[in-house]
Chains A and B, each alone.
Chain A
């Protein structure tokens, strides 16, 4: 590290959930770090322009701008988090094209801004369990992970203590507990349902959602004020984002430089040293190209973008993309099949109401294929449900008949309770689900566009069918007076916004890109720690695992650098 021949000690590409963690860990270990972000700058608080806006301030009072969305945001506007209040976080699809295969479509949700999708993420955090690091080996779908749960457990703790995770301890092997702040409270209806499920569906556990939202002041951030829609940004840092947490910590070291509007075109490979020597960047405004050198390179641009850069980093040594001697780079793309599995109406607890807007639901962890005595015939692996409660209001009944005072009065008051179950299932890694470059189609910077082909396999469809059937059963057990059952899996790949894989970890350099430290087998100073590194997908929300893997990889990388091995 004493050799100051490079511009920086480390360069982190991407400023989202993984990049923010890389920036924090590396700067805190004393490295001079450059974070490159292709999107525009977003200043914490100052640029949360949709925060706390009431409905009457919105164009069309919040009805979507159909024409503009169709023209400019056809993919991004599919996101639950997209609205006039958050649009400035999302990519304009027209200006940021990718090749979407009509027959094998993939919805790539993107927030190219400083902070990335950590600004708009769903904030649900669940640890992978022991079994989640072994399934590929057990059912022969894909390769084995090079790490086990116990390797990552201390890093989960390290991350959780910093970000702040509220949740309920359950002692479940299939859902290891985190380092918890107090859980959020349940609605009366949720307590009623939990009690009924305990007797009528004892194989499931219903727990409070585990989320990176503070239930008490934590590390200089204020407890949640329960205004509701987190993804508009939170000035008081109630939820974890790069903006509220990791980037300020990295800045505080004095070792951080962030450059926004800097599109990374490729990594420059130095054959002599066998390492990456620099990164080539295109300035969004001037379109000028420039290179920055460093000793370490961390790829945290998000799954697809990271792999796009690696594929585009060609050299004599790596004609098919850097660190791609195995030929697996770009393959084994995954996303969680997800969607509404069942929606039920309840007439219980009608005289109970609530105060505050809880930005979190409940969770029913995986309960299928948990051990050797419990093997499903139709599918391997499992799924979990996120539960949400809504007290119905005028939005659910404005299309009723009638006029005048009685119509107004009926719409003014609360209606029945609604409980919905959204399923998230594990996705198997398949070689044919892939990301590759379309050399004929260039973007406005002259960089080949990324092309994505994705299809659900039979296992995902079978998992979904079972998730829908069991959601229907749980609705009835919970006491729904009326419920709507899900039909076939409708979600297009990518819309779970849990895309992962394409530069997977593994023990064998012949069939994987990264080793057990997220270090490229082929290139010692290149690390990939975002979703691209994933070998299998579990069925739980993956961001916490990216953060833990990033922190762990940073620790290793700095040790190696200090020891002169890199």
Chain B
């Protein structure tokens, strides 16, 4: 739902009189609003090589695969990761990520004589689990070490896991099809039954 649709929805749902009495306007430039901007993970980026890009894609899908709901690739996570590595990481974080990615791709060649995206997903997970095992003493895994911008010296496996999870659950596909989204609740009820299969709401407060 873009902003215009949203506001129309809001205007219908809320008593029209109260809106119009304030001179509420709908005809302003829509493009100024963040809500009608293109999705971040649709922005053009060309930072990885083709091989690196396909490896990153495979890793993200191994971390969050398609099940009965979409996985990382369908949610645009590979592009998110490439954008974040290119635009958000600082030079040290970026260098660490690229070195870790190359090492993983190298490891796949040595162990399976195939590139990372040509081995099976279970072989991919075996390699990732080995990385996670080696990194298990990183403070990144410390319980509660989550409400911060980044663990700047986290190992590659932690970097890509964090980018994958963030990129997935904050994406449009992840938010609407895996989690639940309701941009205009209109009421608050603090005590309703939670059914066993139900997902969390998207995190409105993730970005304040």
Contact = CB atoms under 8 A, between A and B. Distances in A.
Nearest to A401: B132
B75 to A, nearest CB: 9
A358 interface: yes
Contact of B15 (A65, A217, A224, A390): A217
Nearest to B126: A403
B98 interface: no
B206 A225 contact: no
A395 B183 contact: no
Contacts of A61: 40, 80, 166-167, 170-171, 206-207
B190 A186 contact: yes
A484 B142 CA distance: 14
Interface string A204-230: 000000000000010011111111110
A192 to B, nearest CB: 10
A199 B165 CA distance: 42
Contacts of A85: 34, 207-208
A364 B203 CA distance: 26
B200 A221 contact: no
B119 to A, nearest CB: 14
Interface in B113-165: 121, 125, 128-129, 132, 136, 140-142, 144-147, 149-150, 158, 161-162, 165
B171 A228 contact: no
A389 B142 CA distance: 23
Interface in B64-83: 64-65, 67, 71, 80, 83
Contacts, number: 255
Interface in A45-63: 45-47, 49-63
Contacts of A352: 191-194
B194 A53 contact: no
B53 interface: no
A407 to B, nearest CB: 7
Interface centre among B84, B88, B121, B191 (most CB of A within 10 A): B191
Interface string A64-96: 111100000000000011111110000000000
A81 B208 contact: yes
Interface centre among B6, B158, B204 (most CB of A within 10 A): B204
A396 B149 contact: no
A171 interface: no
A218 to B, nearest CB: 9
B10 interface: yes
Contacts of A221: 18, 22
A202 interface: no
A44 B25 CA distance: 9
Given A50-B34, A394-B169, A62 B18 contact: no
A83 B34 CA distance: 12
B10 A412 contact: no
A399 B171 contact: no
A222 B15 contact: yes
B63 to A, nearest CB: 5
Interface in B12-49: 13-15, 18-19, 21-22, 24-25, 28, 32-35, 37-41
A440 B88 CA distance: 38
A413 B198 contact: yes
A482 to B, nearest CB: 9
Nearest to B67: A405
Please give me the 5 A-B residue pairs with the lowest Cβ-Cβ distance, nearest first. A62-B207, A356-B185, A356-B188, A228-B204, A53-B34
26 contacts: A50-B34, A51-B33, A52-B183, A55-B171, A57-B39, A63-B149, A81-B208, A85-B34, A186-B190, A186-B191, A225-B14, A226-B185, A226-B186, A229-B205, A235-B7, A352-B193, A354-B191, A354-B192, A356-B189, A357-B204, A395-B147, A399-B140, A400-B141, A401-B141, A404-B62, A408-B71
Interface of A: 44-47, 49-67, 80-86, 184-188, 190-191, 217, 220-229, 231, 235-237, 244, 248, 349-358, 390-391, 393-401, 403-405, 407-409, 411-414, 484
